[in-house]
Structure 1
Amino acid sequence: MGKVAFIFPGQGAQAVGMGKDIYETDSTARGIFDAADAALGFELSKIIFEGPDDELKKTVNTQPALLTTSVAYLELFRAKYGVQPDFVAGHSLGEYSALVAAGVLSFEDAVRTVRARGEFMEQAVPGGLGAMAAVLGAERDALQQLCQAVSKSGSVVELANLNCPGQIVVSGSKEGVQAIVERGKEAGAKRVIPLEVSGPFHSSLMKPASERLAGVLAAVEMSSASVPVVANVTARPVQRPDEVRHLLVEQVHSSVLWEDSVAWLIEQGVDTFVELGSGTVLAGLVKKIDRSVKVHSINSLEALEKFQSETPV
C-alpha cells in the first residue's frame, strides 16, 4: 500500500438505520452513539436508527448524525485494523469528522459544534429564498462566468461544490439558481438538477451563519492535527488550530474544492482512499477524479470484513 487517506462524507449521504449494525454488535461503536446522545442531551441515535426520514433530513439533525456515524466507523476500523492515515479530508460537514480523526477536536465538542452549525445554516436564509442545483457536464470556468453574469443582475448564484469533473453544485438565491437551470447549456451543461436542500449552502448568503459559527468555534478547544487535514476552502493541508478555526468559518460560505483536494492527495502519493461513514458518495467522486486509485467504503459490518479480504493489512 502507498499512502492512505481517510475521507468522510457530508450532507446527502444520510440514511435511516445507518450504523445500526455496528451499534448492536460492537461496544466501541455503541460508545460513540451514546456519547453523542449525552453531549447533545437528546436521543440523536433514535433519529439515526429509526427516523422518520424527514426528521433525519433536517440539517440540524443530519449534521451531528453523519458525524456520529462516521466517527463510530472510524473508531471501529482503527480498533480492528490499526491502519493510520497519512492524510484526512471530509466533504463539507465531513471536515469535522476528519478533524476528530486527526485529534484536532474531541468528538463531544465536534458533535455539539455541528449541531449549532446546522442550526445557523438553517436560520441564515428564510425558507424558500435560497436554492442549490447540480450542474452536470459543464466546464468550471464557463460555469463560473455564467454565475457571475447572473449574479450581476442581482440574483446571487455561485459555485458551491466542485465535486469531480463534470459535476458542480451551484448555490444562491432561488432566482439565481433558477437562471442556471434555464441557461446551463450556455456553460456546456448537459443537465441541471435542482436539489432538495433547506438553504443555499456554501454561498455568500451563508455569511450570517459563518459569523455565528465563529463565536462557537472561538470557545472550542483545539489541538494541532496529528496528520494533515486537507481543507475544503484551500484544497491544501492544515494542522494549526488557528488556521483550522479560520477555515471552518470560511467554509460555510465558500466553495468546497473536493476535486482539487483529491487531486492534491493523489499528487502526494495517496493511492488508497478509505471512506468512513454512510453511503458511497465520495468513493464515486474519487473514482471519477482518478480511476486508478483504490477506494474502500466502510459503511457496514460487511464492508469491514470485506476490507480485510481485499487488503493485506
Structure 2
Amino acid sequence: MEFSEGLYAVKVRAEAMQEASEAVPSGMLSVLGQRQSNFSFACMEAREHCKSLGIENPVCQVSNYLFPDCRVISGHLEALQFLRKNSAKYYFRRTKMLPVSGGFHTCLMEPAVEPLVKILGMIDIKKPLVSVHANVSGHKYMHPGHIRKLLGQQVVSPVKWEQTMHAIYERKKGTEFPSTFELGPGRQLGSILKNCNRQAWKSYNHVDVMQSSTDPDHSELGWNGPQV
C-alpha cells in the first residue's frame, strides 16, 4: 500500500483501539515462566476470580507468544493483579505490567475491528513483492484479500511471534541460515530470536537507524546473501 495510506490506517487503528481500551479497565502482563507453567490454567483461574468479584464475561488470555516460556497475558486488571499475587502457584519466574492502556489482542478490542476493516477496504493493497509473514498465524500473506482479513483479525488475536520465528527459519539440516538485520532502536527482536533459534541468531546484526549509513562501524554488515 502507499506509505501515506498505511500511516492513515495506523492512525485509524490506534484511535479505535484507544477508545476500546477506555471502555474497560484492562492491561497487559509480561510473564517469564518455566516448563511447569500452565498459562491456560492460570488464565482460567484468573477469570474465575474475576467472576467472584462480580465481573461479567471476564477476559484473561495469552496475547503474545514471544519465545519458549515467555508470554504476555492481557485482560481485566483484576485478573492480571490476581496472577501477579499468585505467580508462585503457576511457576512464574517474573511478572511485569506493561506500560500500555489496555488489554490489546483480545476480544476487548472487538470495537476497533470494524473501523480498521472499513479503511482497509478503501486502500489499494497489492500482493507483496517479498515474503511477509502474518503474526496472526505465522504464515505468509497470500493475496490482498488475505491481508485485509488477517489485519482485521490481528487486532483481537494473539501475536504469534515465536511461531513466526519458527516458520521463517525452518530449513533442512545443514542449510545455512540467512543474515538477519534488526533495524531501529534496541535489540529486543534479536534477543527473542536468540531464545527461539540460537543457530539463526548467530547470523544476526543490529542496525541503528539513527546513525549514518556511511558509519564505518556498520561496514562489516554487508548485504550479500538472503535476508529476513
TM-score (norm 1): 0.62
Which one scores higher on RCO, CA 8 angstroms, separation ≥ 6? Answer: 1
Match of 1:126 in 2: 22
DSSP-derived class of the 1:132 partner: strand
What is the identity, as a one-letter code, of the residue corresponding to 1:181? R
Cα 1:141–1:215 shift into 2, 3 Å: farther
In the TM superposition, what is the alpha-carbon distance from 1:172 to its structure 2 partner?
A: 0.8
Match of 1:297 in 2: 206
Does structure 1 residue 210 correspond to structure 2 residue 113? yes
Match of 1:111 in 2: 7
What is the identity, as a one-letter code, of the residue corresponding to 2:209? S
**Range that drifts further, 131-140 or 203-212:** 131-140
CA distance in 1, matches of 2:159, 2:137: 9
Q: Unmatched 5+ residue regions in structure 2?
A: 52-56
State how 1:14-53 maps to structure 2 within 5 Å. Answer: none
Q: In the alignment, is the contact (CA less than 8 A) between 1:226 and 1:239 conserved in 2?
A: no
In the TM superposition, what is the alpha-carbon distance from 1:244 to its structure 2 partner?
A: 0.6
What is the identity, as a one-letter code, of the residue corresponding to 2:206? S
Match of 2:219 in 1: 308
Q: 1:226 aligned to 104, 129, 132, which one? A: 129
State how 1:34-183 maps to structure 2 within 5 Å. Answer: 105-126=1-22, 129-139=25-35, 142-152=38-48, 153=51, 154-183=57-86
Cα 1:106–1:139 shift into 2, 3 Å: farther
- Percent identity reads 27
Q: Unmatched 5+ residue regions in structure 1?
A: 1-104
Cα 1:265–1:165 shift into 2, 3 Å: same
Judging by fraction of residues, say which structure has more helix. Answer: 1
Cα-to-partner distance string for 1:24-61 (whole Å, 9 max, x where unaligned): xxxxxxxxxxxxxxxxxxxxxxxxxxxxxxxxxxxxxx
DSSP-derived class of the 2:181 partner: strand
Q: In the alignment, is the contact (CA less than 8 A) between 1:129 and 1:173 conserved in 2?
A: yes
Match of 2:155 in 1: 252
Cα 1:276–1:193 shift into 2, 3 Å: same
Which portions of structure 1, spanning 4 or more consecutive aligned residues, are displaced by more than 6 angstroms? Answer: none
What is the identity, as a one-letter code, of the residue corresponding to 1:106? E
What is the identity, as a one-letter code, of the residue corresponding to 1:126? E
Cα 1:200–1:291 shift into 2, 3 Å: same
Does structure 1 residue 282 correspond to structure 2 residue 185? no
Paired residue total: 209
DSSP-derived class of the 2:30 partner: strand
Cα 1:204–1:128 shift into 2, 3 Å: closer
DSSP-derived class of the 2:96 partner: strand
Match of 2:54 in 1: none
Cα 1:255–1:138 shift into 2, 3 Å: farther
What is the identity, as a one-letter code, of the residue corresponding to 2:208? N
DSSP-derived class of the 1:243 partner: helix
CA distance in 2, matches of 1:117, 1:278: 23
Cα 1:301–1:196 shift into 2, 3 Å: closer
In the TM superposition, what is the alpha-carbon distance from 1:127 to its structure 2 partner?
A: 6.6
Cα 1:303–1:179 shift into 2, 3 Å: farther
TM-score (norm 2): 0.83
Cα 1:212–1:138 shift into 2, 3 Å: farther
Q: Compute the RMSD of aligned alpha carbons.
A: 2.2
Q: In the alignment, is the contact (CA less than 8 A) between 1:113 and 1:216 conserved in 2?
A: yes
CA distance in 2, matches of 1:141, 1:196: 24
